[in-house]
Amino acid sequence: MRIAGVGSAFPQHYYKQEVLVEALKNDWRHRLPNPEILDRLDESMKVDGRFTARPISFYEDMTRWGQANDAWIEVGLQIGEEALCCALAWARIEPRDLSAIFFTSVTGIAAPSLDARLANRMGLSPNIKRIPIFGLGCVAGAAGISRAADYVRAYPKQAAALLSIELCSLTLQRDDLSMAHLISALLFGDGAAATVVFGDERESSGPEILATKSILYPNTERVMGWDISEKGFRIVLSPEVPDTVLRHLGKDVDQFLAEQGLCRSQIRSWVMHTGGPKVLEATATALGITERELEASWECLRRVGNLSSTSVLLVLEDVYKHRRPEPGTLSILAAMGPGFCSELVLLRW
C-alpha cells in the first residue's frame, strides 16, 4: 500500500495571532478577572497565526450550537472539496476512481455526513464505500491512514481516500473560562486535508505503508475530548497530555518497530502530530530525538496552529512535497488523541 497523494485547503480568513488574542481579550474583558493572562499563555503557544471558518465578527454573535454547526457544514464542504481534489490530482486519478472514502471530523456533525454530500458535488462513484468517523480527534489523521491501508490491503486494485475537516474555531464557548478552554482558544485552528492510498496493484511513487498499530491506554478517557452540552462542544484537555506522551510514546514505538524487526535508530524521518509546544517537546524527549527532527511539525504549528485530526496530514503534506527523504528511508507517522490512544504508521519512502 502506498500514499499516492496529499492535499490541503483552508478557509479564506487568516489572522495573525496577536489579532486573535486581542479579539478574545475584548470579548472576555468583563468576564475574565485577568484578561492579560491570555498574553502570557500565548507567549508559550509558538503560533504565528490561524485560519478561521468565519470572520472575527461572526464569533461575537455566535450563541447557538446550530448556528456554529451550519457554518461547519457550509465551510467544511468548500474546503473539503478543495483538499480532496488536490490529493486526487497528486495521485493522478479522477473522483470516480475512488472505491472508498474515510471521513473524519470532531468539530461538527451532520447526517448525511459530509462525505455523502461531497459525493454528489464531486461526482464520486455511486458505489463508493463511505466510512464516516467521529470521536477520534487528533489521532484520527494517523488512524484514518491506517484504516485506509486496511481497506486497500483487502482490495489491492483499488484506491481509498481519507478526508479530515476540522473547524475548531466553531467550538468556541464564550462562557467557558476554564484554563483548558483558554488554551484551546489560543491553540486550535481551522482547515482540511486529504490523502489517497493505493493498493499494491496500483502504481505510485509515494511512501509505502509497511505496518500500522493502534494502542488504547486504559482508564484515560478524561485526558482529552469533548463534553457535550446544549451549547455544543466543551473542551476536555488535561494537563496530563505531555506526561502521557512521555510515559508511553517511546516504548510504544520501540515495541512496534521490534515487531517489524527494526529499532528506533533506523528511523530517519518523523511525521508527528503538532499537538502543542509541550506535546512536541515531550515527543522529542520520549523518542530521544532533536527539535530539528520535528521541524516539519513545529513549522506547521507555527503557521496554522493545531488542527486536530488535520494536523498530522499537513505535516505529511509538507514532508511529501517539500522535505521528501531519500528513497529507502524509514519514517514513523504518529498521532495521539481521545481515548486516550496512539496510532503508529511505519512508512518507507
Give the mean pLDDT of 51-61. Answer: 95
Q: Summarize pLDDT for 257-273 with one digit per residue, the tens.
A: 999 999 999 999 999 99
Q: What is the pLDDT of residue 337?
A: 92
Q: Where are the beta strands (DSSP E) in the chain?
A: 2-9, 13-16, 49-52, 100-104, 129-133, 159-167, 190-198, 208-216, 224-229, 232-237, 267-272, 330-337, 341-348
User: Which residue has better confidence, 175 or 84?
Assistant: 84
Distance CA(11)–CA(52), nearest Å, equals 6
Question: E strands of 107-207, at which residues?
Answer: 129-133, 159-167, 190-198
pLDDT value at position 87?
A: 98
Question: What's the pLDDT at 223?
Answer: 86
Average pLDDT of the chain is: 94
Mean pLDDT of 142-157: 98
User: Is 90 exceeded by the pLDDT of residue 277?
Assistant: yes
280 has pLDDT over 90: yes
In the prediction, which pLDDT does 174 show? Answer: 85
Q: Does residue 231 carry a pLDDT above 90?
A: no
Task: Enumerate the β-bridge partners of residue 270.
Answer: 332
Whether residue 190 is predicted with pLDDT greater than 90 in this model: the reply is: yes
Dist CA 79 CA 56 (whole Å): 19
- The pLDDT score that the predictor gives to residue 225 is 86
Structure confidence at residue 227 as a pLDDT band (50, 70, 90): confident
86, 138, 300, 341: which is the annotated catalytic residue?
Answer: 138
Instruction: Determine the Cα–Cα distance for residues 158 and 200; give it in Å rounded to an integer.
Output: 9
Confidence category of residue 181, pLDDT binned at 50, 70, 90: very high
For the chain, the straight-line distance linking the first and the last C-alpha, in angstroms and rounded, comes to 12
- Please state, in angstroms and rounded to a whole number, the distance separating the CA atoms of residues 100 and 76: 19
Question: Is it the case that residue 175 has pLDDT exceeding 90?
Answer: no
83 band by pLDDT with thresholds 50, 70 and 90: very high
pLDDT at 33: 82
For residue 221, is pLDDT > 90? Answer: no
Give the Å distances, CA to CA, from 215 to 55, 92, 112, 146, 329: 38, 33, 30, 12, 24
What average pLDDT does this structure show over 211-223?
92
Q: Are 22 and 15 in contact (CB under 8 A)?
A: no
Least confident residue range of 34-43, 276-285, 328-337: 34-43
pLDDT (tens digit per residue) in 191-216: 999 999 999 999 899 999 999 999 99
- Is residue 138 flagged as an active site residue? yes
Q: Which domains does the chain have, with CATH numbers?
A: 2-198 (3.40.47.10), 208-348 (3.40.47.10)
Express each pLDDT in 5-39 by its tens digit: 999 999 999 999 999 999 999 888 878 888 788 98
Least confident of 60-64, 193-197, 309-313: 60-64
